[in-house]
């Protein structure tokens, strides 16, 4: 069993829909990251969380440390949000353990 | 602007050849990492470095080596390329000297390596 599990693996949506991507982990962590990988392959960091909730534009990330669970929400989704979203957890040092990603496609 | 670059972006080589992938960052970050990305797996850590002359093995280090002679560069060498090493390779860097949970990792654009 992977230490970091994401669901769903694939997700399609119509433009404007509210999107939720989930991440569960089985180890103690010091932080959790959400990353976005564009169709061209580039990876960018969206959020780093150690507690609570963060918001950036239409993106919201939450984490529940007790339940070992995080969610990434996208409000008013747009085709340009189409990407692979990756959850990664940090255990103490700077090393990250990655989930396998959620592929999101948003259609006009 | 500071950045992290990888070269080459695409490489085709033959089994048994030595291959070196370059990673260069101008963030002046202490930490640098090499990952490989394969279908069905998340990014997996190959090697990492917390500073000059420091190198450490990750979870999939067999068949790979790195050296850190300066802050900016962490080249990844495949000593004798194997077909199982066909993958997309990402380099990343972050600022802290270990132990700080909050630092973002900045990723390079990736190198697609094919071993025939």
Exposed, middle or buried, B56 (CB in 10 Å: 0-12/13-18/19+)?
Answer: middle
A5-63 per-position pLDDT tens digit: 999 999 999 999 999 999 999 988 888 999 999 887 789 999 888 899 999 999 999 99
CA B37, A45, B50, A41 torsion: positive or negative?
positive
**How far apart are the C-alpha atoms of A48 and B90, rounded to whole Å?**
20
Q: How far apart are CA A68 and CA A49, in angstroms?
A: 12
Chain B nearest-CA distance from A52, in A, is: 14
DSSP assigned state of A41 = S
First to last CA, chain B: 37
- Indicate yes or no: CB of B104 within 8 angstroms of CB of A48: yes
Is the predicted pLDDT of residue A74 greater than 80, yes or no?
yes
Of A55, A54, A60, nearest to A73 (Cα)? A60
Chain A residues near residue B111 by CB distance under 8 angstroms = none
């Amino acid at each position: 069993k992977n230490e970091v599990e994401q669901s769903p693996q694939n997700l399609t949506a119509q433009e404007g829909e509210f999107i939720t991507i989930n991440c569960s982990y089985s180890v103690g962590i010091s932080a959790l990251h959400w990353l976005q990988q564009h169709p061209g392959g580039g990876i960018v960091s969206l959020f780093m969380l150690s507690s609570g909730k963060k918001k950036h534009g239409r993106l919201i990330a939450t984490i529940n440390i007790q339940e070992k669970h995080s969610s990434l929400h996208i409000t008013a989704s747009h085709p340009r949000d189409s990407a692979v979203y990756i959850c990664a957890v940090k255990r103490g040092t700077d090393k990250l353990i990655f989930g396998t990603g959620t592929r999101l496609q948003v259609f006009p | 602007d500071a950045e992290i670059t990888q070269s080459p972006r695409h490489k085709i080589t033959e089994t048994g050849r030595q291959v070196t992938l370059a990673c260069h960052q101008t963030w002046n970050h202490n930490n640098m990492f090499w990952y490989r990305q394969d279908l069905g797996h998340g990014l997996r850590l190959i090697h990492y470095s917390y500073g000059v002359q420091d190198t450490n093995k990750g979870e999939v280090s067999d068949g790979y080596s790195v050296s850190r002679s300066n802050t900016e560069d962490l080249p990844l060498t495949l000593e004798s390329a194997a077909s199982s090493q066909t993958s997309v390779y990402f380099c990343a860097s972050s600022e802290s000297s270990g132990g700080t949970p909050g630092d973002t990792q900045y990723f390079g654009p990736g190198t697609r390596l094919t071993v025939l």
